[in-house]
Structure 1
Amino acid sequence: MNALVYRGLRLFFKNKQAVMGAFIAAFILIGLYVFLLGDSLVNQLSALSNPQLVVDTWMLAGVIGIVSASSTLGSASLMIRDRERNVYTDFMISPIQKRKIMLGYFLSTFMVSVIITFSVAIVAELYIVFLSKGAFLTLEQAILLFFSCLFTVFCSSAFMFFVASFFRKIDTFSTMTSIIGPLLGFLTGCYVPIGSLPETAQMVVKYFPLTSGVVLIRRVLTENVFTSDNPEAVRVIKEELGITMGGQHELLFPFVLLAISGIVFLAIALWNIKRFEVKR
């Protein structure tokens, strides 16, 4: 299984197109922020002491959340590509347990996302401190950010593995990923503040599992931003921007939701792949 994980990592990072594709959704968010939403959001938050820093941290938290999902797309496609080239069949008739082979594909997807997500998180923190003039995260906040990213990556990887389990042709999956990447930005409330969405869309965003991960990351990155502002105004703005949402005011709930959702997605994906093999 370790060899399969190493193979997945090597093939992904060797493919420059796949690596660049992992950042497409993040580039879209940055473009929306720079050219369309940035100044408007800053003006709307003018009552705060440092609205620019609030918007910067909100946007960068969204970038981390989106990258955790979009970075799994190229790696998850490896299993489909192997199916199409019958490499997957060769693995299945080998002495290695089928469960370990499938977990090898998932773990390579997970590791790819971990590497890229944590790299982006480090860059985001440096941007906040040195360009946006924010404060460094405390040790406690850094640990919380670490686990927030880790749980988000787990849920994202399981979700993408679940999606990939339904495809047999790499061309079809590639077409679908060009839609899924940007769509995730809307489903997690990263492209547009959640409070500005219609009520029905807000419900979809709030109950989409990956949104919990983005909420956690936002809470950590913005924790040092609102210290000198009016508590009531901060509460309203946090709800509007999706920094806190409903039952997600508590820390435990988002972590539990991400873990359970990830396990469910992974279990269904493994069952679906096994069903596919039985049909063959």
Structure 2
Amino acid sequence: MWAMTKRNLQLYFSNKASVFFSLLGALIAFILYVIFLQKNMQDSFAGTPNLEELLDNWVLGGTLAVTSMTTTWTGISRLVQDKVSHKLEDFLLTDISQLKLYLGYLISSSLIGFIMQLVMLAIMKLYFYWQDGISFGFEHLPQMLLIMLLSSIMGAGFALLVLQFVKTLTTNEALSTIVGTVSGFLVGVYMPIGALPDFAQKVVKLTPAAYVSAAYRQLLIAKDAVNADAKEFLGIGLKLKT
């Protein structure tokens, strides 16, 4: 199991293109915020105290949630590649059980998600410090690390649940494209959840990804930064409505 975990980690990090494309959804969300969304939201929430810090932490929470989805999906995609190349059959001929084999994929993918969230956190915090003069406080770091770990395990588990039934690279690539595209909407980072139509909001609130981003945002944004309606609009506090 640990040998499989090590092998999958080495294969992921040795493929620079794979690493880049697994982060593409998160990078797009970050770039869209910097060049377009930040200014619009500053206009919408003009007069709010510490607005730059609030919005920077808002997009940080959403982008980390996207990272937890897309990178773990890429990590589990190794399972499909091993099926297609018949390596999975060879592994099953050894003394390793199927359970331990799948646990190897799950653990390696979870570690990938955790590590890449740390990378995105460093990139974004350095940018916000350089651009907005916002320093990183370490008081919330233990809680953030816990959310990173849990969200990575959850993302890897979901990807494994789906991809264990996928048998072709074409299907895997199509699903990867879909995940990368919709992830930003599911966590409310391409646009605030409150800006979506009512039906879309209900769908988003039924997905775990929205609550991962909400957990980050509740941790990073002061409780009294905005009122309850603004919190729900921004996806900081989510309420299921019937």
Q: What TM-score, normalized to structure 1? A: 0.80
User: Does the CA-based 8 Å contact 2:76-2:106 persist in structure 1?
Assistant: yes
Corresponding position of 2:69 = 69
Q: 1:103 aligns to what?
A: 103
| Residues 58-97 of structure 1 aligned to structure 2 (within 5 Å) | 58-97=58-97
Aligned to 1:274: none
Alpha-carbon distance in structure 2 between the residues aligned to 1:134 and 1:237: 22
Counterpart residue number, 2:209:
210
- 1:207 and 1:106 map into 2 onto residues whose CA distance is 23
The number of aligned residues is 240
Query: Partners of 1:136 and 1:31 in 2: how far apart?
Result: 20
**Cα distance in structure 1, aligned partners of 2:32 and 2:130:** 22
Q: Return the alpha-carbon distance in structure 1 between the equivalents of residues 102 and 51 of structure 2.
A: 46
Q: Which of 234, 239, 242 is residue 241 of structure 1 equivalent to? A: 234
1:40 aligned onto 2:40 = yes
Give the direction of change, closer, same or farther, for the CA distance of 1:24–1:138 in structure 2 (3 Å limit). Answer: closer
Kept after mapping to 2: 8 A contact 1:57/1:128: no
Distance 1:128 1:143 in 2: 21
Q: Match for residue 154 of structure 1?
A: 153
1:72 positional shift? 1.5
For residues 128 and 25 of structure 1, the distance between their equivalents in structure 2, rounded to whole angstroms, comes to: 19
Unaligned runs of 5+ in 2: none
Percent same amino acid among aligned pairs? 28
Residues 68 and 114, structure 2, Cα contact 8 Å, conserved in 1:
yes
Aligned amino acid, residue 179 of structure 1: I
Q: Which deviations, in whole Å up to 9, do the C-alpha atoms of 1:115-154 show, x marking residues without a partner?
A: 1112222333344445433353353x22111111111111
Gapped regions of structure 1 (runs ≥ 5): 248-280
Superposed displacement of residue 205, structure 1? 1.1
The Cα shift of 1:13 comes to 0.7
- Paired AA for residue 235 in structure 2: G
Aligned positions of 1:182-193 closer than 5 A: 182-193=181-192
**Cα distance between partner residues in 1 of 2:159 and 2:194:** 27
Is the Cα–Cα contact under 8 Å of residues 155 and 210 in structure 1 kept in the other structure?
no
Secondary structure of residue in 1 paired with 2:205: helix
CA distance in 1, matches of 2:133, 2:72: 32
Across the aligned residues of Structure 1 and Structure 2, the Cα RMSD in angstroms comes to 1.8
What amino acid is the match of 2:110? F
Q: Is the 8 A contact 1:28 1:182 kept in 2?
A: no
Residue in 2 that maps onto 1:163: 162
Q: Is the 8 A contact 2:125 2:135 kept in 1?
A: no
CA distance in structure 1 between the partners assigned to 2:152 and 2:118 by the alignment: 10
SS of equivalent residue, structure 2 residue 136: coil
Alignment of 1:11-50 (within 5 A): 11-50=11-50
Task: Give, in whole Å, the separation in 2 of the partners of 1:48 and 1:35.
Answer: 21
2:137 is the counterpart of 1:137: yes
Give the Cα–Cα distance (whole angstroms) in 2 for the partners of residues 135 and 33 of structure 1. Answer: 19
Other-structure match for 1:255: none
Q: Distance in 2 between matches of 1:124 and 1:35?
A: 14
Correspondence for 1:278: none
- In structure 2, give the amino acid aligned to 1:115: I
